[in-house]
Chains A and B, each alone.
Chain A
Amino acid sequence: MGFLRVEAVARTFPGLAGGEPTRALERTDLAVEDNDFIAILGPSGCGKSTLLRIVAGLDQPTQGRVVLDGEPVSRPGPDRGMVFQSYTLFPWLTVRQNILFGARAAAEVADRLIVRVGLRGFENHFPKMLSGGMQQRTALARALANDPKILLLDEPFGALDNQTRSLMQELLLGIWEADRKTVLFVTHDIDEAIFMANRVAVMSARPGHIKADVRIELPHPRHYTLKTTPEFSRYKAFLTEHIRAEALKAVEQGAA
């Protein structure tokens, strides 16, 4: 059972110009409980983004299906909010107008979120006037303002520098601890996965499938100092072994 169920989902991309088809995702099953925070961890090119895009409805599985809250997913919809790795704010809209883009976004919610993500004073700025971190905070607020059932995050902090990235992790975690929204977070960063998630699903090299599902039994609320504790290090050592083996496979396949 589960709030979100990925049922036997597989994705094969047709080969280019008569070439071999690419098996991006092998038969994958995943169940996510309501209000849970799951990280999907894997080396680059393992199909983790493909899986997330299928959950978002932006890509169609070759086999299997995705069910959210009892409803099968067939196309993108406002019940699945998404933050992308690339900067996807609408350049012609201000920060506030971007946050209000969603059909279900209300003005007072937007104002609260602007304060929550630390963008007060920047409401009327255009995206090009913002730093990368501020743009991603706006994108996060935009997804949250639409009040989705689940938040899908595709390496949203991947393009940011280390310090900004840590602050963004704390910000997102703080929001999750306060609101307990269901989150599916894709990343290749082991620290990021352990620090934020309650469960880490480790994906194998291409063709991707979930090869380990690890519970992170660290109490909430979590503080950034957690990253230097022995428990954290144990998880990290364990996951590093898993990921390393997969990354090596990926390099051998020429995928990374």
Chain B
Amino acid sequence: MLEPLKPVSRSTRVVLGAAFFLLFFGAWALATFGGWIDGMFLKDPVYTLKIGWELFAEFNFIRDVGVTIWRVVGGFVLAAAVAVPLGIAMGAFKPVEAFFEPFVSFARYLPASAFIPLLILWAGVGEAQKLLVIFIGSVFQIILMVAVIVGSTRRDLVEAAYTLGADSAGIVRRVMLPGAAPQIAETLRLVLGWAWTYVIVAELVGSSSGIGHMIMDSQRLLDTGQMIFGIFCIGVIGLVSDLLFKWLNQRLYPWAF
């Protein structure tokens, strides 16, 4: 039956993947409808879906979703724009790495959420503060991972390029960059997932819009249905963005898959 590493057909994969979702919702329904859990702590799936519909229809929840997506993407793009070039420079040139690496390794452990009070002081409670939280949370991670990827470029490919007449700039541009691109894209996909965590934390504190803010508001009303629906929305958006990223990577780098 179960053989290590034996591939599974596409249809079986879809069925198995969907089956767990069904199981999950089934267990949830059983626990709530069956009266095992008090509705005060956990609403049933049908109510949650209904309240979700109301959120979109009556409370313009789509605007909150839009605001949150914009914050994640904005902060993430800013972080990537700084981190990818710096990471490439560090991976390719050892003195650059020696200069930045110790500080970045230290900064990586600074928790982005701990900066929120400070950032509110510096940047207020507007969009700049939200973007900065995501920026701080993502930028150091991307720098280090990109540096490692570029630094592990195959030595023999570099040597082959040298014997074909490439110079230092040519090695970076024609060997290191194209070779590292698929893995860099995978890293960005991973960090984008983390950025979703930071945005919600940023929105829980001092915010007047966004999915995190809605969840915070629902807590005041003790509406667990809304809270769970908000959390679910994040999951769905995360899944969709992940699939999009994967699809794009496979389109861009067919040689790597």
Contact = CB atoms under 8 A, between A and B. Distances in A.
A58 B161 CA distance: 11
Interface size class of A (residues with CB under 8 A): 20 to 34
Given A92-B253, A92-B256, A81 B164 contact: yes
Interface string A143-161: 1001000001000000000
A139 B156 CA distance: 13
Contacts of A235: none
B164 A102 contact: yes
Contacts of B256: 91-92
B165 interface: yes
Interface string A47-90: 00000000011100000000000000001111011101010101
A1 interface: no
A101 B166 CA distance: 9
B66 interface: no
Nearest to B181: A92
A252 B164 CA distance: 39
B165 A104 contact: yes
Given A92-B256, A126-B255, A128-B255, A82 B163 contact: yes
A102 B174 CA distance: 11
Contacts of B255: 91-92, 126-128
A82 B165 contact: no
The residue among A76, A86, A103 with the most chain B CB atoms within 10 A of its own CB is A76
Contacts of B181: 92
B85 interface: no
B178 A142 contact: no
Contact of A88 (B156, B178, B253): B156
B234 interface: no
Interface centre among A82, A90, A103 (most CB of B within 10 A): A90
A243 B181 CA distance: 46
Contacts of A92: 178-179, 181, 253, 255-256
B186 interface: no
Q: For the side of the interface on B, what is the size category? A: 20 to 34
Interface string B204-221: 000000000000000000
Which residue of B162, B163, B179 has the most chain A CB atoms within 10 A of its CB atom? B163
Given A90-B178, A90-B179, A128-B255, A80 B164 contact: no
B96 interface: no
B156 A102 contact: no
A102 B160 contact: no
Nearest to A76: B162
B175 interface: yes
Nearest to A77: B165
A76 B178 contact: no
Interface in A114-155: 126-128, 139, 142-143, 146, 152
A82 B160 contact: yes
Contact of A90 (B157, B163, B253): B157
Interface in B185-202: none
A78 B165 contact: yes
B38 interface: no
Nearest to A127: B255
B179 A76 contact: no
A117 B255 CA distance: 23
A158 to B, nearest CB: 14
B157 A102 contact: no
A58 B256 CA distance: 28
A213 B47 CA distance: 89
Interface string B148-169: 0000001011011111111000
Given A88-B157, A103-B165, A146-B164, 15 more contacts: A58-B162, A58-B163, A76-B159, A76-B163, A77-B163, A78-B163, A82-B163, A84-B156, A84-B159, A86-B156, A90-B179, A101-B174, A128-B255, A143-B163, A146-B165
8 smallest CB-CB distances across A and B, nearest first, come from A78-B165, A76-B162, A88-B160, A102-B164, A82-B163, A103-B165, A126-B255, A92-B178
